[in-house]
């Protein structure tokens, strides 16, 4: 990717918009574009916009093996998570007030669940193993007679580990418990199949798969009906679950982004995996570093690495030619050390000395080699400056 700024290795935070996606969105915004309100079906302008919205709905549905009517447009995965968790819990508050989740979920899951705790719901917070994996047996042991909902992310946004959602889905389906999956980080990297996963609710966002920010979707199982209380009220759009005028250009962008992500997934993943392995081999040679999370059960584009003897914030500041992060982009302002890494048993010092490198569609071999050179140089320099322990 040709830019005049630092080498971009923060794809887990957000991806650049693919040029093909941007062009499709721009077409909607041109004077001759689909400027009608998709809900105004009494004239051609509205019907044209509605047709584009429904085409995009079908594109997203196809990427996760769902029916189009199961896709509800939202502003992103955060809203999708809130709608799923608060919507199910409040709708069924008389039918069971126990929820199971984990300590390593995204804040967009943790904070709504904490709100539900304030409303009188009980949440069991599962602790992963040192590799970041939640075992299906842990979920089974946590289930109670009054468990209504299980919420577990497919791919962790900080360490990239993959949970066995299909096994957990089978447990939940057998007991009639609703399963919500945050799949924001797995789209475009893993095959998503809501039927095979037995997921009842699945949160998605466009800006992790080379689409625009500000648009996402929630998959909602339709048969048998789930029961979901809306968070927003107004015109009754999206089958009454999410009122508000639909943003045609953003929806078009998300639809195409998901179609491209699925059609090009294998090619992208194979190429990115090779680059990620090259990066790991290069920086591992520095010595005194560890990979955070399971070494194999992980997505191909993400490395979370702790550097012994180096303060992470200093390293991140020193690596000004690289755009990397110390953890989730949604938590960096409030967390001194990653709660995800602390849940894995990392000390505060090691958690604070960790960096997340995430690669993507536009990452090049030359950028990876430059990143390796920079990391080697700055780690050696900072360790030489550190006082003897």
- Rounded CA separation 314/281 (Å): 23
Q: Phi and psi for 330 in degrees, rounded to 5? A: -85, -5
Bridge-partner residues for 123, per DSSP?
99
CA trace torsion 127, 130, 133, 139 (10° rounding): -30
- Rounded CA separation 368/281 (Å): 11
Q: Which residues contact 353 (CB under 8 A, 6 or more apart)?
A: 306, 307, 308, 309, 310, 311, 312, 315
Sheet holding 302-307, edge to edge: 289-291, 302-307, 354-358
Q: Which of these is catalytic: 28, 172, 276, 330? A: 330
Q: How many CA atoms lie within 13 A of 44 on its CB side?
A: 2
CB 247 within 8 A of CB 214: yes
Q: How many CA atoms lie within 13 A of 32 on its CB side?
A: 0
- Rounded CA separation 188/184 (Å): 9
CB 16 within 8 A of CB 362: yes
- Rounded CA separation 121/208 (Å): 31
**Residue 276 is among the residues annotated as catalytic for this protein:** no
The two tokens of residue 160 are 């990239």
Q: Catalytic residue numbers?
A: 330
């Amino acid at each position: 990717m040709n830019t005049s700024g630092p080498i971009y290795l923060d794809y887990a935070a957000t991806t650049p918009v693919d040029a093909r996606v941007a062009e499709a969105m721009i077409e909607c915004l041109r004077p001759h574009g689909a400027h009608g309100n998709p809900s105004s079906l009494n004239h051609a302008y509205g019907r044209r916009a509605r047709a584009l919205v429904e085409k995009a709905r079908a594109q997203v549905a196809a990427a996760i093996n769902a029916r189009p009517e199961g896709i509800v447009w939202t502003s992103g995965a955060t809203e999708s998570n809130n709608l799923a968790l608060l919507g199910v819990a409040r709708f069924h508050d008389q039918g069971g007030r126990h929820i199971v989740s984990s300590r390593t979920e995204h804040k967009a899951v943790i904070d709504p669940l904490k709100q539900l705790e304030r409303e009188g719901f009980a949440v069991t917070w599962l602790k992963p193993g040192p590799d970041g994996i939640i075992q299906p047996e842990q979920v089974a042991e946590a289930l109670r007679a009054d468990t209504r909902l299980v919420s577990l992310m497919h791919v962790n946004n900080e360490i990239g580990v993959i949970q066995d959602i299909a096994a957990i889905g089978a447990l939940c389906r057998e007991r009639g418990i609703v399963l919500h999956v945050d799949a924001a980080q797995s789209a475009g990297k893993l095959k998503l199949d809501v039927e095979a996963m037995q997921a009842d609710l699945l949160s998605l966002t466009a800006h992790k798969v080379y689409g625009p920010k500000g648009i996402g979707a929630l998959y909602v199982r339709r048969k048998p009906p789930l029961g979901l209380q809306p968070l927003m009220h107004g015109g009754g759009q999206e089958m009454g679950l999410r009122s508000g005028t639909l943003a045609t250009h953003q929806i078009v962008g998300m639809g195409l982004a998901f179609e491209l992500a699925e059609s090009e997934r294998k090619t992208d993943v194979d190429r990115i995996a090779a680059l990620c392995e090259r990066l790991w081999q290069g920086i591992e040679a520095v010595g005194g570093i560890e990979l955070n999370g399971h070494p194999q059960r992980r997505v191909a584009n993400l490395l979370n690495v702790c550097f012994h003897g180096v303060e992470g914030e200093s390293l991140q500041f020193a690596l000004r030619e690289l755009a990397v992060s110390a953890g989730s982009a949604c938590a960096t302002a409030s967390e001194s050390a990653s709660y995800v890494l602390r849940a894995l048993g990392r000390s505060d010092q090691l958690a604070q000395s960790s960096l997340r490198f995430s690669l993507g569609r536009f990452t090049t071999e030359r950028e990876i080699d430059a990143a390796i050179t920079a990391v080697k140089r700055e780690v050696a320099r900072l360790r030489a400056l550190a006082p003897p322990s």
